Amino acid sequence: MIRKSRIQPRRYRAFTERDIDRIPQLRAYDADRLLRMKAVARVLPFRVNEYVVDELIDWRRVPDDPMFQLTIPQEGMLDPRDLDRMVKLLRAGAAEAKIKASAREVQMRMNPHPAGQMELNVPSLDNEPVPGLQHKYRETVLVFPSQGQTCHAYCTYCFRWAQFVGIDDLKFAARESESLAAYLKAHKEVQSVLFTGGDPMIMKTAVLRRYIEPLLEDEFKHLVSIRIGTKATAYWPYRFLTDPDADDLLKLFEQMRKAGRHVAIMAHYSHPRELETPAAQDALRRIIDTGAVVRCQAPIVRHVNDNAKTWSEMWRTQVALGAIPYYMFVERDTGPKNYFQVPLARAFDIFTNAYTQLSGLARTVRGPSMSATPGKVLVDGVAEIHGEKVFVLKFLQAREPAWVNKPFFAKFDASATWLDDLVPAFDESSFFFERSMEEIKRGRRQPAWGDRPDRRRPLVLFGSVEWE
């Protein structure tokens, strides 16, 4: 039985780019500053809601306040020339089509499709691509339900920003649950299904149920876990408290548990303040009371959480509330990365500093981790080997399972912010996975577990050839 929430219900009310003038707390801003904010919001997605504005942002500390930086467009997110150009168009009252065209030009220069997501990860069934699914790592399939392709509020650094400004036109989205079920029936190697978006918690429970309920049948016993990635625990906890179908959602979690599935809510928390409100804490309690597990992850981003105190406080609070720290990610190489990125060396220092302040129960967290084209690459350490300062790296996940957990080394570089900036240490000409990765990219080879066995090629590891 799920206990009722004592939190007062709240009606969801969003502010988007068109309503910037209606946010009461922004009325004190001068016109020029507001215009620059609007210019940024024409290029990059913007949406907040009243709960975020009233409860999470500390308006006395604006503009430095981390929640303000996390949710409200910041001038520094655009290149100064692009900002200037957009401001001029808005100020001159330019035609809508002209503003849109300029915005699109700027967007296309911001690497809208990082990590080969569109080309490399869409699986196929009977030689037809299955839209709305991504299958990059053998054990886990990602699902992008078409009804879940927005969020209760957007993060300024969002790596999926391109779909919110209409570049992607929901190419990822799964329109029906049938193709998901058919794909999973044919792929018994899959142990985990991860619903993502956007934010699947945008969907009504009844819609989510259409995707999840079929997977509780016995023929999907190979699915150990069903995960739901969400920012709603932080941006709209009422989804789990007082929204009309909140109780039904928790019932669905219980039902999933009864069917023997591990239920994991992959909660995106960027700052400890998101865990502090009574609503946020009651939402966690109600989710955990169903038998679901809450695992927490977020990227490290400048202006929001690039210090050890923020992370240690956040991980400590998560453990206190019964949630489990899971990943610290590196901000991806897309969108307003110049404003938000943190060098790998600095991210590693912040991670280590925060990690060492906490008991083993919080050290379930791994990071800093880059979700790059070949896999999730962990910056595992900085070491000096035979007089050369190096990054010690390894894959936490990889397109080829055989790549996982093998240390490899890159020349230390204090300013590198992404895998692409790194070069192999010890005068090696390439990293061990690069040749195979190139072959996968060129379509000359499937990963060893791919679904076209006739096209399998040998996998080259450390110079030796392994057939899989």
Residues interacting with ligand PLP, by CB under 6 A? 134, 136-137, 140, 142, 194, 371, 376, 396-397
Instruction: Please give the angle made by the CA atoms of 215, 218 and 224, to the nearest 5 degrees.
Output: 65
Q: Closest approach of Cβ 174 to ligand PLP, in Å?
A: 15
Q: Identify which of residues 277 and 364 has a Cβ nearer to ligand PLP in the complex.
A: 364
Residue with Cβ nearer ligand PLP (107 or 192): 192
- At 375 the three-state DSSP class reads strand
Residue ranges of alpha helices (H) inside 109-258 are 117-120, 161-164, 177-186, 205-212, 232-235, 246-258
Identify which of residues 203 and 396 has a Cβ nearer to ligand PLP in the complex.
396
| Residues ≥6 apart with Cβ < 8 Å to 416 | 343, 344, 345, 410, 422
Min separation Cβ 108 and ligand PLP, Å: 24
The least distance separating ligand PLP from the CB of residue 332, rounded to whole angstroms, comes to 10
Residue 272: CB minimum distance to ligand PLP, A:
22
CB closer to ligand PLP, 66 vs 375: 375
User: Cβ contacts of residue 215 below 8 Å, gap of 6+?
Assistant: 180, 181, 184, 193, 223, 226, 261
How near is the Cβ of 142 to ligand PLP at its closest, in Å? 5
Residue found under tokens 């934010």: 199
Question: Quick one: which H or E segment has residue 299?
Answer: strand 293-300
145: DSSP letter = B
The residue among 194 and 279 lying less far from ligand PLP, judged by its C-beta, is 194
Question: Could you tell me which of 278, 27, 108, 324 has the C-alpha nearest to residue 100?
Answer: 108
| Count of Cβ atoms closer than 10 Å to residue 88 Cβ | 12
Nearer to ligand PLP, 142 or 448 (CB): 142
- Residue 222 CB, nearest distance to ligand PLP (Å)? 15
Distance CA 406, CA 123 (A): 27
- For the bound state, the minimum distance from the C-beta of residue 194 to ligand PLP, rounded and expressed in Å, comes to 6
User: From the CB of 325, what's the least distance to ligand PLP, in Å?
Assistant: 13
Closer CB to ligand PLP, residue 77 or residue 143? Answer: 143
CA angle 368, 370, 373 (to 5 degrees): 165
Give the span between the Cα atoms of 104 and 109, in whole angstroms. Answer: 9
Residues with Cβ within 8 Å of 172's Cβ and at least 6 positions away in sequence, in order, are 117, 118, 131, 132, 134, 144, 149, 163
Q: How far is the CB of 33 from ligand PLP (least distance, A)?
A: 37
* Euclidean distance between CA atoms 240 and 246, whole angstroms: 5
Decide whether 371 or 436 has the Cβ nearer to ligand PLP. Answer: 371
Between residues 152 and 399, which has the closer beta carbon with respect to ligand PLP? 399
* Angstrom distance (rounded) from CA 433 to CA 410: 13
